[in-house]
Homo-oligomer: A and B are copies of this chain.
């Protein structure tokens, strides 16, 4: 299984690296760190991560889209949004964390779908597309191949939920145990609204 983490300037750190920690524990998985033009990408928290440029994805791949301050300008970047649309169309599953769902919404892939996002930025995310059925009270939302989570740390719970859906809840519980993580396994339980 190939998993592509889509990075951009001012992405939110834990949106990416929480899911990286968890999804890396799937057997025979290969992780890719990609960005629109490749090279070094700076997170909101000031460190640089090396990325490859997007040249396509392997069949049956997973694409992970983080949120963060960088999404505010990226929604207006036509090349980025078009590229994201192409990635989503080809992916087996797409997972977004926090305001990453605003990028997905802008690309149109969430039209007529249920989705959620970060609570603090919810009004802004909703303003990006009125074609999405935005669900505010949710740890994460699943609509066919699209998984969208609420803010930052919710991406870890969603990643375990995704693993549970694919490989069974025992596998998800084992990974949570191995990283000594208290998994909030109920995607409808959300106390942060």
Encoded as 1 (CB less than 8 Å from any B CB) or 0, chain A from 84 to 128 comes to: 000000000000000000000000000000000011100000000
Shortest distance between the CB of A31 and any CB in chain B (Å):
5
Q: In the assembly, how many copies of this chain are there?
A: 2
A18 contact set on B, CB distance < 8 A: 14, 17-18
A20 contact set on B, CB distance < 8 A: 13-14, 45, 47
- How many A residues touch B, CB cutoff 8 Å? 37
Shortest distance between the CB of A98 and any CB in chain B (Å):
8
- In the bound assembly, the distance between CA atoms of A36 and B112 in angstroms comes to 51
- In the bound assembly, the distance between CA atoms of A33 and B33 in angstroms comes to 19
Given contacts A181-B153, A192-B177, contact A31 B50 (CB under 8 A): no
Shortest distance between the CB of A154 and any CB in chain B (Å):
5
Q: Are B46 and A49 in contact (CB under 8 A)?
A: no
Binding site for B on A (CB under 8 A): 12-14, 16-18, 20-21, 24, 31, 33, 40, 44-50, 118-120, 150-154, 156, 177-182, 184, 191-192
